[in-house]
Amino acid sequence: MAASSSAEQTQLQDMEDEDAGMEDREMESDGDEEEEEEGMGVENSDDEEDDSSEDEKENEAEIQRLEEQLSINAFDYNCHVDLIKLLKQEGELVRLRKARQKMSELFPLTEEIWLDWLKDEIRLTEEPNREKVYELFEKAIKDYICPDIWLEYAQYSIGGMGSPGGIDKVRSIFERAVTAVGLHMTKGQSVWEAYREFENAILSTVQPPPGRIPSREEQELLNAQLERIHTLFRRQLAVPLMDMEATYAEYEEWSEQGVPERVIHQYRKALKQLEKCKPYEESLMAAEPPKLAEYQSYLDFELKEGDPARVQITFERTMAENCLVPDMWAKYNTYLDRQLKVKDMVLSTHERAVRNCPWTMGLWKSYLLALERHGADHHTVSDVFEKALNAGFIQATDYVEIWQAYLDYLRRRVDFSKESSKELEELRGAFARSLDYMKQDVEERFGESGDPSCLIMQIWARIEALHCKNIQKARELWDSIMTKGNAKFANMWLEYYNLERSYGDPVHCRKALHRAVQCTSDYPEHVCEVLLTFERVEGSLEDWDLAVQKTETRLNRVNEQRAKVAEKEAIMVRQEEDRADQRRKNKADKKFQKKAQKGTRAGEKRKVEQDDYHNEWNDDSEQAPKRHRGHGDQTSDKYMETDTGLFGKNAPPGYKPGPPGAKKSQQEAAAQQQNDDKPELRNDNCSVFISNLTYTLEEPEAKLRTLFEICGPIKQIRPVFSNKGGFKGYGYVQFESSVSVPEALKLDRREVEGRPMFVSPCVDKNKNPDFKVFKYNTSMEKQKIFISGLPFSCTKEQLEELCKSHGTIKEVRLVTYRSGKPKGLAYVEFGEEAQASQAVLKMDGMEVEGNKISVAISNPPRRNVMDKPGSSRPGADLMPRQVFGSRGRGRTQLSLLPRSLHRTSESAGKVENGTAAAQNPATTSTAGETKPLSNSDFAKMLLKNSARLP
C-alpha cells in the first residue's frame, strides 16, 4: 500500500505541475493585455486619480467614524458589517482581517461573510501557510452548518493533497462534509458529486496505461478505488435528494456489472421519502425569508417520522435562516438533550444558541444544565455563568433564575457528609454574592431586585437547616427576609413556621406564630387558626389562654379596620352616586329647556285656531285604527267615533270616513285586546319570565312545556315571536298555582341547547320598579372564593373535586357568557370562612390543565345604581311621569290626545279674560299626574273651542 500511495503522489504531482504551467501561460497573456490597456488609457489617468483620491478621503473618514462608534458600543452588529464592507472596498487587508476577527468573537457570522473572508484569505495565504486557512475553515463550520462552506473547505483541501497525507486529509474532510450536510435535500447533492469527482480523479491516476497488464499491487489499488466509488454511489442513492434520478442513471451507466438489487431497493425507498418531503421543500422555495412557519411544519413532519439525522439537518437549516428566534433554539436544544445526547453536538449547539440570542436567560440556563449533565469541569461552568451575567437580560427576574440555576449546580457539588469543605464554602460565598448582586447591580438597573419573596434566601435557609444542621443561620436568614417587607404576608410566616416545625423546636414555632398573628394583614384568620391548632397539640393551658387572647384581640382590631375601610368605600360610592345624579339632573334640565324653547318657536308659527282644530281632528282620525294595549278600561276610550252627529257636530270639511267594515274591524280588535288583557288570563303571580333561549329553538312552546311540567300544572305558555314569525328567544310560562313558581325558578341557568336559560319572576317594572333581578351578592363574602384563569374545559365536578380537600363545599358556580361559553371564572362557597381562607392560600397560583389560576376571597365590584321612583330623580318635579302600555314605549304608538291638550298646564296665578282660570279637575289629579279623559271631557273641550270661533 505504501508503494501505491507513492505512485498516487507522483501522478498527482505531475497533474499539479501541468496546472501550474497553464496558470503561468494565462498570467503572461493577461499581462500583455493589461499593458495594451494601460497604453490606451494614459489620457484619462489624471482625472481618475483626482476622483479616486476624494473617494478615498470620504471612505477613510467614514471608516474612522465606524471604528469610534464600535469603541463605544462593540455589540452594534450593523456597524461591524458596514466597516467590513468599506475596508474591503479600500483594500485595507490588514485592518479588514482585524475587523472580521473582532466581529467573529462577538457574533456568529453569516454564510456570505464567511465565504468572503475565506476567499480573501485563500488568495493572500501562501502555500506553506495552509494551516491558518484550515483553522479559519474550522471556525466557519462551527457557526452554522452550511453546504457551501463545506464544499469550499473540501475543494480548498484538494489543493494540498500533494503534501504527505494530503489525500487522506481530503477524504476525511469530505466524509465530515457528507455527514454534516449530505442529508440536505436541495444542496447536499453538490457535496456528494464533488466527493465522487475527487475519487474519480484518483481513479484515473491508478489505472494502468492501455495495453499494459497491471501488477498485483496495482490491481488491488485499482479495485479498492473502484469499490470506493461504488460505495459513494450506494450511499448517495440511499439518501432522498433532489434530482436523484440523474444520479441513478449515472450509476447505471458507470457500473459495468449493473446496479445491485439491494441498491435498487434502497433507491426506491429514498424516492418514496423524497415524495413525502417534496411538498415541504416546494413551500420553502416559494416562501419569503425567514420562512419560519414553513420550517415549523417541516420540523413537525420530521419529528413525527422519527429519523434523528433528518430531524437534525432540518433543525440546522431552520436555524441558518432564523438564528435570532430564541424559541426555536430552545426547541432544538431540548431535542438534542433528550434524544441524541451526543456531547460534542449538544454542547456546540448550546454555545451557538447563546451566541445568537445572548439576551435570553432560558438558553443560558439550559446551557449550564447541559454542561453539568455532560461532565464539564467546574472552571468551564463558572466561565459560562459569568458570561451569562454580562449578557444583558431584559428582566430583573431573569437574573434571579440564572442565579438559582448556578446555585443549584454548586449545591449538587457539595458533599454534606463532611462538616466543612471547599465546595461548601464556595456555595455559601455564592449565596452571599448573589444577594449583593441583586441589591446593587439589579436594583440599580431595573429599580427592583427581581426577588421580592426572597426565594434565594429561603433556599439558603433550608439548605442550612436541612444539610448543614445550622438552624441558627436559617433563623437569621428568615429574620432578614421578614425585614424586607414580607412580614405582612401569611404564607411567608407559615413557610418559616414549617421550617421550624421540621428542623427547630416548639418554642421557636410558638414565637413565629405569635409574631405572625401580630404582623399578618392579608389572611389573619388563617394564621390565628394555625396558632390555635398548634396550641391544641403542643401547648399548656396558659399557652392556650394566651393564644386565644392574642387572636381575639388581633381579629377585633382587624374587623374594626375593615369596617372603617368599608365605611370609607361606602362614602365614596355615595359621593359618586350623588355626582352622577347631579350630572343626570343637569342634563335633564338642559333637555327640558331646549324642548321649551322649541315649543315656544312652534307656537309662534302656528296657524289660526280653526286650522289647528281641523288638523287635530284629522290626526285623531288617522290614529284611531292603531291598536294600543293598555290597562283597565282605557280601551273603550282609545277609539273615537267619526260619524256625523258626534258631540252634536259634523265632521270638518275634507274629512272622509273609512269604509263601512272599518268600524266593525276596530270593534273586533278592541274586543280581542280586552280579552288578552283580562286579569284572569294573565296572572303575574303565577308566571315566570324565560329568556336567553336560542332563536333557532324548534317548537319553543312544546320545549318549554317539557322543561317546566315537572314544576306543576301549566295553564298557558306564551313564547314571543317577531313580525316575521321567528322566535325572539324569550317568553312566559303561567302555572295554575303560584306554588309552582319557586320550583320553576330553580331551573334558572339550566342549559338548553348549549345556552343557559334564564328564569326570573314575572314582575311589571312600572308597578314594582324596585324589583331586583340580579340574585347574587355584590358585597364581600368571606366564606366564598373567586377563581379566575380556569381552563374553558373545566367542569363543575372537576372544580368541586379540586376544592373539597380544603373544606365543606356548599355551592360551586361556573360563570358563563349568555351564549353558554365559559369565561374561565368560578365561585366556590365553603361552610366556614376559615376554610375559604385556607383554600385561597393553598390554591392561589396552582396550575390546572396547564393554566395558572388566581384565587381570592369573593368581593365583586358594586353594580351601577339604577334610578328608582321616589328618589332624587332628575326632572321628576318638572315633567309628569308618563304611563306606557304593556308593550312599553314603542315608536309606533301614537297618542290619541289632541295636541292642544299636550300643552303644559297654566299656573293658577295666570289670568284669562280678567278672571283667574279655574283648574279643571278632570284633567289633573291631586298627585300632579295626567288623568285619562273621558268622552264627556272631550265634548266639553271641543264645545269650548267652537264657542271661541268667530
What average pLDDT does the segment 729-744 reach? 90
pLDDT the model gives residue 898: 53
Q: What percent of the chain has pLDDT over 70?
A: 75
Quick one: pLDDT band at residue 890, thresholds 50, 70, 90?
Answer: very low
pLDDT at 380 over 80: yes
Tell me the C-alpha distance between 229 and 245, whole Å: 18
End-to-end CA distance of the chain: 144
Quick one: pLDDT band at residue 151, thresholds 50, 70, 90?
Answer: very high
Tell me the C-alpha distance between 99 and 83, whole Å: 7
Tell me the C-alpha distance between 474 and 497, whole Å: 12
Instruction: Name the amino acid, one letter, at 323.
Output: C
How far is C-alpha 238 from the geometric centre of its chain's CA atoms? Answer: 44
Quick one: pLDDT band at residue 860, thresholds 50, 70, 90?
Answer: confident
CA distances from 235 to 192, 251, 267, 276, 316 (A): 9, 12, 10, 20, 21
pLDDT at 21 over 90: no
Contact 833, 783 (CB under 8 A): yes
The closest of 666, 621, 628 to 642, measured between CA atoms, is 621
Q: 803: which 3 cell numbers?
A: 376544592
More confident residue, 305 or 595: 305
pLDDT the model gives residue 893: 44
More confident residue, 508 or 607: 508
Tell me the C-alpha distance between 122 and 156, whole Å: 8
Quick one: pLDDT band at residue 655, thresholds 50, 70, 90?
Answer: very low
pLDDT at 381 over 80: yes
Q: 590: which 3 cell numbers?
A: 338642559
CA distances from 100 to 77, 78, 107, 159 (A): 12, 13, 10, 25
The alpha-helical segments, DSSP class H, found in 677-729 are 700-708
pLDDT the model gives residue 29: 45
Residue 826 neighbours by CB under 8 Å, 6+ apart: 786, 787, 790, 794, 799, 812, 813, 814, 815
Q: 134: which 3 cell numbers?
A: 484550515
pLDDT the model gives residue 746: 86
Tell me the C-alpha distance between 42 and 39, whole Å: 6
Quick one: pLDDT band at residue 944, thresholds 50, 70, 90?
Answer: low
pLDDT at 166 over 80: yes
pLDDT the model gives residue 938: 61
Tell me the C-alpha distance between 65 and 70, whole Å: 9
pLDDT at 76 over 90: no
pLDDT the model gives residue 776: 58
Q: What percent of the chain has pLDDT over 90?
A: 48
Give kind and range of the element (H or E) at residue 787.
strand 781-788
What average pLDDT does the segment 653-657 reach? 42
Q: Please state whether 215 falls in left (phi above 0), alpha (psi between -120 and 50) or beta.
A: beta
Unique residue bearing C-alpha cell 396558659: 542
Strand 687-691 to 822-830 pairing = unpaired
Tell me the pLDDT of the chain averaged across its residues: 80
pLDDT the model gives residue 863: 53
Residues belonging to the chain = 950
Tell me the C-alpha distance between 834 and 445, whole Å: 42
| Most confident stretch, 547-551, 829-833, 860-864 | 547-551
Q: For the segment 409-458, what is each residue's pLDDT rounded down to a tens digit?
A: 999 999 999 888 999 999 999 999 999 999 999 998 898 888 999 999 99
Tell me the C-alpha distance between 518 and 535, whole Å: 17
CA distances from 131 to 103, 157, 299, 314, 436 (A): 22, 10, 38, 32, 48
pLDDT at 536 over 90: yes
| Most confident stretch, 25-39, 183-197, 776-790, 932-946 | 183-197
Tell me the C-alpha distance between 370 and 384, whole Å: 11
Instruction: Name the amino acid, one letter, at 89.
Output: Q
Which stretch of 277-281, 301-305, 612-616 has the lowest confidence by average pLDDT? 612-616
The alpha-helical segments, DSSP class H, found in 390-466 are 396-413, 422-437, 443-446, 455-466
What average pLDDT does the segment 172-198 reach? 94
Q: 735: which 3 cell numbers?
A: 302555572
Residue 156 neighbours by CB under 8 Å, 6+ apart: 118, 122, 133, 137
pLDDT the model gives residue 164: 87
The closest of 203, 180, 177, 211 to 191, measured between CA atoms, is 177
pLDDT the model gives residue 696: 87
Unique residue bearing C-alpha cell 394583614: 521
CB-based burial label for 547 (10 Å; 0-12, 13-18, 19+): buried
Phi, psi of 454 (to 5 degrees): 55, 50
Q: For the segment 223-235, what is each residue's pLDDT rounded down to a tens digit?
A: 999 999 999 999 9
pLDDT the model gives residue 678: 43
Residue 170 neighbours by CB under 8 Å, 6+ apart: 154, 157, 158, 160, 161, 198
The closest of 524, 616, 606 to 899, measured between CA atoms, is 616
Tell me the C-alpha distance between 703 and 727, whole Å: 13
The closest of 823, 932, 933, 828 to 883, measured between CA atoms, is 932
Show the 3-state SS of 620-666. HHHHCCCCCCCCCCHHHHCCCCCCCCHHHCCCCCCCCCCCHHHHHHH
pLDDT at 580 over 70: yes
pLDDT the model gives residue 769: 64
Q: 122: which 3 cell numbers?
A: 485563500
Quick one: pLDDT band at residue 45, thresholds 50, 70, 90?
Answer: low
Quick one: pLDDT band at residue 113, thresholds 50, 70, 90?
Answer: very high
More confident residue, 895 or 559: 559
Quick one: pLDDT band at residue 549, thresholds 50, 70, 90?
Answer: very high
Q: For the segment 596-622, what is each residue's pLDDT rounded down to a tens digit?
A: 887 666 555 554 444 444 444 344 434
Contact 412, 426 (CB under 8 A): no
Q: 356: which 3 cell numbers?
A: 445568537
Show the 3-state SS of 59-72. HHHHHHHHHHHHHH
pLDDT at 676 over 50: no
pLDDT the model gives residue 849: 85
Quick one: pLDDT band at residue 670, thresholds 50, 70, 90?
Answer: very low
CB-based burial label for 806 (10 Å; 0-12, 13-18, 19+): buried
Tell me the C-alpha distance between 863 and 119, whole Å: 75
Quick one: pLDDT band at residue 466, thresholds 50, 70, 90?
Answer: very high
Quick one: pLDDT band at residue 674, thresholds 50, 70, 90?
Answer: very low
Q: 222: which 3 cell numbers?
A: 485499482
The dihedral through the CA atoms of 40, 43, 45, 47 has a sign that is negative
Please tell me what DSSP assigns to residue 539: -
What average pLDDT does the segment 696-706 reach? 88
CB-based burial label for 392 (10 Å; 0-12, 13-18, 19+): exposed
pLDDT the model gives residue 841: 80
pLDDT at 222 over 50: yes
Unique residue bearing C-alpha cell 494530503: 166
pLDDT at 545 over 50: yes
The closest of 85, 140, 87 to 115, measured between CA atoms, is 140
Burial 79-98 (b: 16+ CB within 10 A, else e): bbbbbbebbbebebeebbee
pLDDT the model gives residue 922: 40
Tell me the C-alpha distance between 867 and 73, whole Å: 65
What average pLDDT does the segment 282-309 reach? 93
Cβ atoms within 10 Å of 733's Cβ, excluding its own: 27
Cis? peptide before 108, omega within 30° of 0:
no
Contact 535, 542 (CB under 8 A): no
DSSP β-bridge partners for residue 714: 735
**Three-state SS for 415?**
coil
Tell me the DSSP string of 501-522: HHHS-HHHHHHHHHHHHHH--S
Tell me the C-alpha distance between 453 and 741, whole Å: 54
